[in-house]
Amino acid sequence: MLKKLITASLLATAALTFTGCQELLDEIILIGNPPASTKVNLTATINGAQEVPATPSAATGTFTGVYDKATKVLTYTVTYQGLTPTAGHLHRGAPGTNGPVVYPFASLTSPVSGTATFTQADEDLLLSGGFYANFHTPAYPGGEIRGNIVKK
């Protein structure tokens, strides 16, 4: 009986030791091969030359954002100088084309910060250069300055 108890104890200890080693091995493998990031950095230079048609505006701006593919949320900051916008938003549309407003900016005071939750179709467009930031003014109701959003 004592021999069986000792054997069972040794087997249990070996099993626990192996389990602990496997967990340690899994952790070491994870450190050497971290999971791919789900976040994508985005940027845009905003100016009149990118408008369709282009404008002679001297106003400029920048767009910086981080898109999380896991949550489908874009977090962004847009700055501008040289104009007083009457509207601003993110549009769907490739460079050289105009597209519909998809995400209006909650504020028009620079810097403009916000978040937007994307559908899978819009994510695909965003990550392939199919979105732009746009500001409109009374002088240019179709848009005075624009920035085509691209991966950093």
pLDDT tens-digit profile, the chain (152 residues): 656 545 545 444 554 455 556 675 566 555 666 678 899 999 999 999 999 999 999 999 999 999 999 999 999 999 999 999 999 999 999 999 999 999 999 999 999 999 999 999 999 999 999 999 999 999 999 999 999 999 99
pTM higher than 0.85: no
Specify if 62 maps to a domain.
Answer: yes
Specify if 33 maps to a domain.
Answer: no
Specify if 23 maps to a domain.
Answer: no
How many structural domains are present in the chain?
Answer: 1
The candidate with the shortest Cα–Cα distance to 115, out of 61, 44, 107, is 107
**Residue 125: which domain range?**
39-151
In the 8-state DSSP scheme, what is residue 87? Answer: E
Specify if 10 maps to a domain.
Answer: no
Which pLDDT value is given to residue 11? Answer: 46
Which pLDDT value is given to residue 26? Answer: 65
Specify if 96 maps to a domain.
Answer: yes
Contacts of 46 (CB under 8 A, 6+ apart): 60, 61, 62, 63, 78, 80, 133, 135, 145, 146, 147
Per-residue b/e over 118-131, b at no fewer than 16 CB within 10 Å? Answer: beeebbebbbebbb
Which pLDDT value is given to residue 120? Answer: 97
